[in-house]
Structure 1
Amino acid sequence: MSRPALRVLHVHSSLEKGGVETWLTRIVPLLDASRYRFDFAVHQFDGEVAESLRTLGSVIHPTGLPRHITRYWQELVGIARQGQYDVMHCHFLEHAGYAMLAGKMANIPVRVAHTHLDVAPLLPGTSVSWRAYWALSRLLVHKYATAGIAVSAAAGSSMFGDSWRSDSRWMSLPCGIDLESFRGIRLSPTCAALRTRLGIADDVCVIGHVGRFVRQKNHRFLLSLLQDTVSAGLNAVLLLVGEGPLETEIRHIAKELGVGERVYFYGPTGHVAAPLAAMDVFAFPSHYEGLGLAVVEAQAASLPCVVSQQVPDEAIVVPRLCSKVPLNDAQGWVVAIRRAFQRDVAAADENWRKVAASVFEIHSNTSALLGFYDQATATATAGNTAERMCA
């Protein structure tokens, strides 16, 4: 007799254009609906994305903002009880522990805390109240999470503690990528088409970046890098892909620095391969990261990457494409950009195949995630059986 479909409730902030959101929405079409069902509890969602997920059988549960934590916690308990879920999978950072408690109160047998960020570099600049909130959330994760996933070793230590690998509850698994659209993209007509549309000549170095306009992604540094690179004699422009609360400020700073005409704001996209095709070098100067999935996508597109030392080693899949440079070495970044611009893309297919052979590939990544759910569910079932026998 076949088992009923495993019902998973994903708890996150949104279903819009972001790394985690893209990963989740690309997994759903790959699911065997007779075996697995993904639903979502979010407070922001793109109407088109939500409708496509509903068509595939997912339920979207709108929630209030997590900053009203008591009300939000009560909402989660109600949603979880109503849906009779087998798994609650939380992608929040600071709210993860409170979601795990909600899952426990709703009697969900498998409660997964998923950390996508290394919070350690962020803590010194936060308030005392935020650090206290985070500390309590971590305690709740350790008490009420039955399992956990980290996208990198640094992210795991941040959420689960330095000895997290010795606890069988926790495992490492990055988000996956649908890689087919990146194959040979820099050698395709797409590359020339976008540059032509933007009026960028073939001999101009396009320094590109994909990321939300937030402090973490360090767009100010990118503007200074462009200014220094041009001053050093390289004819360069900056192509920025994404949106976010600091976009207006970055536009203003670009004009102040005199590089406004050299900066192209592409906007958000669900098809990042197209703008990557127009780039010559990918720059990623993050202040902190959990993984940096955009760097993996750039490598799949065979783009030379210059990244900050805060990008975890797990994101470096094709080492010959990547250079790590400290953020306090501005001249080092200029040198790395010039060297990257001179690299040949002849090994593009080999670079793509290396990424495709990794755990980032969406099909193998999905299999690993579903296998994790199956194992966690079996462990929870065995534990419940043992408790009943001892009662």
Structure 2
Amino acid sequence: MTTTKPSHPGRILYVAVSQGHLAVFHNPYLSSLRARGHIVDVAAGATQEFALAEVNSFHDIRFARSPLRWANVRAFWQLVRLMRTNRYSLVHCHTPVASALTRLTTVFARGRPVVLYTAHGFHFFPSAPRRNWLLWFPLEWLLTRLSDFVITINHWDFEAARRLLRASRPRFIPGVGVDLTRFANLSIEDARAMRAHMGISERMLVILYIAEFIPRKNHAFLLTAFARIREQVPNACLLLLGDGPLQDAVRTQAAALGLTDAVHLLGFRRDVPALTNIADIAVSTSRQEGLGLGLAEAMACGLPVIASEDRGHRELVRDGETGFLYPQGDMDAFIERVVQLARDPVRRVAFGEAGRIHAQAFGLPAALAAMRAIYDEAEALAYERVPAAEQGR
């Protein structure tokens, strides 16, 4: 017997570590939920410089990224109060610590909300340190018992959710979605003008890395390698987009290596498509990625890419076709691949065009369509949990 969907909107709680995370990755999904007629509440740490899609209410809850911090105890009880104050039909959580706390607090919720957890990359994975498996795997296994849907953005995580975590409803979406309409090519004249504005001459080879300045992104590895790359490609320069706690340390390292004039730390930028268009090669030296939105954006602009061997990067990069993968932590292999592409403009163009086509699979329309199908399932399940006396009101 097919369950009829509710005739009234549900109330949804959407949770992540920060407003910035939601603004960068999830605005289209929040707008989609509102368009479906839902009342949408958001709980995240407020970061006012990021514009968030219109929601019904915003709750400033400051999560700490490290699990064992006092701030997370306070965040836990704030979430409990939210769960007790409002009757949520769906709770959708993102980012590891915020998601762990949210799923625990659903035990205290009014009614039985349907819980969706999007894993942007499990902290346990084939090459992860043993401590990650000892801490995060049992924690995720337990919390999966509190999750109605575990949503993954790469196939390794999907199989892990299905086989290792024994999730009741593992689901896959092709990343969080790249807005491909933003990544049209600049004209040659506009690209030249932008380079000139930044003090980058036409003869420079521009290498781009879009990433937060956090340990996982491995900027120290990149700078050490770049110093050696400059010995073979003296006209190379490096653009680093993003912000984060290690930004000053990276700036200090660049100065110590004598790279101040060749390394440009640009911070958080809203003109990423334009900056991507003036680059020649995009790289990622990340230690692990769920997928890697910055790399997908670079491919959408037709850039060849070089990335560390990783489950998320394997999803994006077709080695030898759209770019190169190199063994995790192998600096000599990374340098060799960068120098190879730097000296071969014909191959750069071929890789870039193949990457532009491959990036279509990770576009926002595909991700939104997959997520809408999951919300259809979640709404039907939520309606099944509504007491019979309330259905159809």
Note the C-alpha offset of 1:367. 2.5
Alpha carbons of structure 1 residues 79 and 270: separation in structure 2 relative to 1, 3 Å: farther
Note the C-alpha offset of 1:316. 2.6
Distance across 2 between alignment mates of 1:197 and 1:217? 28
Give the letter aligned to residue 147 of structure 2: A
Note the C-alpha offset of 1:286. 0.8
Report whether the alignment pairs 1:62 with 2:60.
Answer: yes
Deviation string 1:67-119 (CA, Å, 9 cap, x unpaired) is 33443222112223433222111113145343113123213421012111231
Give unpaired runs (5+ residues) of structure 1: none
- Number of the residue aligned with 1:45: 47
Give the letter aligned to residue 243 of structure 2: E
Deviation string 1:193-245 (CA, Å, 9 cap, x unpaired) is 32111221112111110001111111112112221111124420111001111
Deviation string 1:115-158 (CA, Å, 9 cap, x unpaired) is 1123126863759xx955x4563244222111111111333466
Give the letter aligned to residue 352 of structure 1: R
Alpha carbons of structure 1 residues 208 and 90: separation in structure 2 relative to 1, 3 Å: same
Note the C-alpha offset of 1:60. 1.1
Give the letter aligned to residue 144 of structure 2: H
Alpha carbons of structure 1 residues 268 and 80: separation in structure 2 relative to 1, 3 Å: same
- Number of the residue aligned with 1:84: 87
- Number of the residue aligned with 1:320: 321
Q: TM-score, normalised on structure 1?
A: 0.84
Note the C-alpha offset of 1:177. 1.5
- Number of the residue aligned with 2:201: 201
Give the letter aligned to residue 9 of structure 1: L
Distance across 2 between alignment mates of 1:334 and 1:310? 18
Note the C-alpha offset of 1:296. 0.9
- Number of the residue aligned with 1:124: 129
Report whether the alignment pairs 1:33 with 2:38.
Answer: no
Alpha carbons of structure 1 residues 324 and 139: separation in structure 2 relative to 1, 3 Å: closer
Contact (CA 8 Å) 2:124, 2:137: kept in 1 or not? no
Give the letter aligned to residue 243 of structure 1: D
Alpha carbons of structure 1 residues 371 and 279: separation in structure 2 relative to 1, 3 Å: same
Name the SS for the 2:51 alignment partner.
helix
The CA RMSD measured in Å over matched residues stands at 3.0
Note the C-alpha offset of 1:47. 4.7
1:112 to 82, 102, 116: 116
Name the SS for the 1:117 alignment partner.
coil
Distance across 1 between alignment mates of 2:19 and 2:190? 28
Alpha carbons of structure 1 residues 231 and 180: separation in structure 2 relative to 1, 3 Å: same
Distance across 2 between alignment mates of 1:291 and 1:218? 16
Distance across 1 between alignment mates of 2:13 and 2:324? 38
Report whether the alignment pairs 1:277 with 2:284.
Answer: no
Q: How many residues align?
A: 373
Report whether the alignment pairs 1:101 with 2:104.
Answer: yes
- Number of the residue aligned with 2:19: 15
Note the C-alpha offset of 1:6. 3.7
Identical aligned residues as a percent = 24
Contact (CA 8 Å) 1:213, 1:244: kept in 2 or not? yes
Alpha carbons of structure 1 residues 328 and 346: separation in structure 2 relative to 1, 3 Å: closer
Matches within 5 A, 1:252-331: 252-312=252-312, 313-316=314-317, 320-331=321-332
Distance across 2 between alignment mates of 1:369 and 1:234? 46
Name the SS for the 1:355 alignment partner.
helix
Alpha carbons of structure 1 residues 104 and 371: separation in structure 2 relative to 1, 3 Å: farther
Distance across 2 between alignment mates of 1:135 and 1:168? 17
